[in-house]
Structure 1
């Protein structure tokens, strides 16, 4: 992760990530988020049924009273945003970005601020939601910047492949 001990020029010398690897990394992250949502849903149902006195009706396959309200949906948003915020701030990479050797940092090659993470998380779904126009925008720019890159003053770079050690003998 680019930090104050690593020269920002090292990050800036890496090639900019293309749109396709970024979308593929997002698919990986969607699988992780689906797992986090399942854990959150289990905990929400457990808490709601224990303390809330809600009466779910599994025989009718109706769990709406337990996990259908705006508070539950706000929790889903917070779980999703938390995953991205923590990943971007801790290592500059989500799990999907690690698999595709991508790293995000600000335009100076330094770790994203909380505000930049917030902007990326806010505009990212908009980039994806309008028929991926925010992502496809990167195809038409020399710097491959997407809408959420531009708004958050950040960029995604492609990390080099690790060299395999050759064992003798």
Structure 2
């Protein structure tokens, strides 16, 4: 019985399939939900101290507390910050880590800021059209989704860790 050689570089790793990528996205949505709850709590604290919130719980009207362009911009920054920090730092989000996925340029180099921005702009579109941007990967041998193509990046499947 011959033993397979483990890949030595990013370019030798197999491409990640659509199912794993969507599973990692679900994990990341759970993490993002927690981060947004913490952000919302902190934003409410700051707004109540400095902005004099006018919440009306008797009328079940919480819109003055949880709305506004500043709060929404902060939420976008939290989501973008999570992905940018993960992609630029380790090439993996927490969900990608759980499913052994890694994103990098085709040469195996860490994503640039421009690539991160392109992924972040096109990925919501990939989902918004009923996941067509992700399912596009089924039609390609490199399993690339729309945001991979737009950002010139690849998602690869990492090998299982060896047991000692």
**What's the TM-score bracket when you normalise by the shorter of the two chains?**
over 0.9
1:123 corresponding residue in structure 2: 122
2:36 aligned with 1:37, yes or no? yes
Distance across 1 between alignment mates of 2:59 and 2:149 = 47
Q: Does 1:25 align with 2:31?
A: no
Q: Deviations over 1:25-84 (max 9, x none)?
A: 000000000000000100111111110012112333322102211111111111000000
Unpaired runs of at least 5, structure 2:
1-7
Deviations 1:77-129 (A, max 9, x none): 11000000000000000000000000000111100001100000000000011
Aligned to 2:3: none
Match for residue 98 of structure 2?
A: 99
State the match for 1:77 in structure 2: 76
2:50 aligned residue: 51
- Stretches of structure 1 that go unaligned for 5 or more consecutive residues are 1-8
Structure 1 length as normaliser, TM-score? 0.90
For normalisation by structure 2, the TM-score amounts to 0.93
After the TM superposition, which segments of 4 or more aligned residues of structure 1 sit over 4 Å from their partners?
Answer: none
RMSD (Å), alpha carbons: 1.0
Tell me the matched-pair count: 157
DSSP-derived class of the 1:157 partner: strand
Secondary structure of the residue aligned to 1:104 is strand
Residue 67 (1) aligns with residue 66 (2): yes
How far, CA to CA, are the matches of 2:60 and 2:34 in structure 1? Answer: 21
